[in-house]
Amino acid sequence: MSESAVGAPAIGHPRKPLWLQAAPVIFLLLWSGGFAVAKIGILYTGPFTLLALRYGIVLLILLPLIAWFRPPLPRSPRVYLHLAVIGVLIQGLYFNFSYFAFRFGISAGALSLIVSLQPIVVGLAAPLLAGERVGAKRWGGLLLGLAGAALVIASRASIEVAAPGVVLLAVGALLAMCGGALYEKRFGSPQHPLIANGVQYAVGFLCTLPLALLMEDGHVVWSGPFIAALAYLVIGNSLIAISLYLAMIRAGEVSRVSALFFLVPPCSALLAWGLLGEAMPPLAWAGMALAAAGVGLASVTRARWKSFRFGGPRR
């Protein structure tokens, strides 16, 4: 797959494919719903058991597809290593930290707010780790988006956690996702999605299964809500949202893509309002508008599309 296949032509103004233009909206809708769905899932089993089931089912879906379609395999062992590192950071650390924090009482709003700090962390680290300059206009958008996300959370509920250690789990999830985004930008290369997902979810499964076996009894209450939650996490979060997120990073600047996370708390609140009838105070609507304005400002592209290459063309 050429680099232009993911929407990053080397020269001129890029013409993004239709799927990539729609990717931010699809990603936000699927990712935002994942917080509430995960909390539903751990009502019926342990957090590590839920993740092990999720990753195992994803692999059961991917492996027959890989055998059937026979996508091209990476030529260099380093590609597998880079895919595995991203799998450890996102599938192995981010989700395990997040689900474990849910088990110990952190609210979906608190975790959503902490994770929404990702654009700030990425913006600070991008010049050093990804060779990407974050200008004053983009910093203004990032701070505006942060303020909007905070308004949404503050307007809907008080943020309470059971213990300071739970906050550390949430911060660990934040840092793991930031690390995955920066590593993908620095070392990632366009690979067939079946191969990339297969490697990353295999690594996530290997990281999670021992935790489930050692720390939990494996008990699962198989019910309609649990099966629906598991299906959403497998298809919506694992197979679609993560693939779109990594594709957007490869196709654009990492700090601009990360700014989407400011819209996760507002979108989560909006989905809960529409689907569950949860209250949306006027301040929450104002916060949504502020977050959207911040993301819009942070997402403004320069006239010239930057292409970052490290160590020569990617293969």
Q: What are the pLDDT digits (tens) for 163-209?
A: 677 888 988 998 998 898 888 878 877 788 899 999 999 999 999 99
* 43 vs 116, residue with greater confidence: 43
> What is the structure's pLDDT at 105?
77
Poorest-pLDDT segment among 7-11, 128-132, 249-253, 263-267: 7-11
Rounded Cα distance between 259 and 121, Å, is: 11
| pLDDT bucket at 95, cuts 50 / 70 / 90 | very high
Centre a 10 Å sphere on the Cβ of residue 191 and count the other Cβ atoms it contains.
24
In a domain, residue 3? The reply is: no
pTM for the structure as a whole:
0.75
Rounded Cα distance between 112 and 151, Å, is: 12
User: pLDDT exceeding 70 applies to what percent of the chain?
Assistant: 60
> What is the structure's pLDDT at 204?
96
Rounded Cα distance between 186 and 250, Å, is: 9
In a domain, residue 58? The reply is: yes
> What is the structure's pLDDT at 103?
85
> What is the structure's pLDDT at 38?
87
**Which residue range forms the structural domain that includes residue 141?**
18-298
> What is the structure's pLDDT at 306?
42
| pLDDT bucket at 58, cuts 50 / 70 / 90 | very high
> What is the structure's pLDDT at 185?
77
Q: Which residues contact 151 (CB under 8 A, 6 or more apart)?
A: 283, 284, 286, 287, 290, 291
In a domain, residue 92? The reply is: yes
In a domain, residue 305? The reply is: no
Under 8 Å between Cβ of 268 and 112: yes
| pLDDT bucket at 56, cuts 50 / 70 / 90 | very high
Centre a 10 Å sphere on the Cβ of residue 164 and count the other Cβ atoms it contains.
7
User: pLDDT exceeding 90 applies to what percent of the chain?
Assistant: 31
Query: Which tens digit of pLDDT belongs to each residue from 246-290?
Result: 788 777 655 566 667 767 766 766 666 665 555 556 666 676 666
In a domain, residue 54? The reply is: yes
Residue 133: phi, psi to the nearest 5?
-85, 130
> Domains in the chain: how many in total?
1
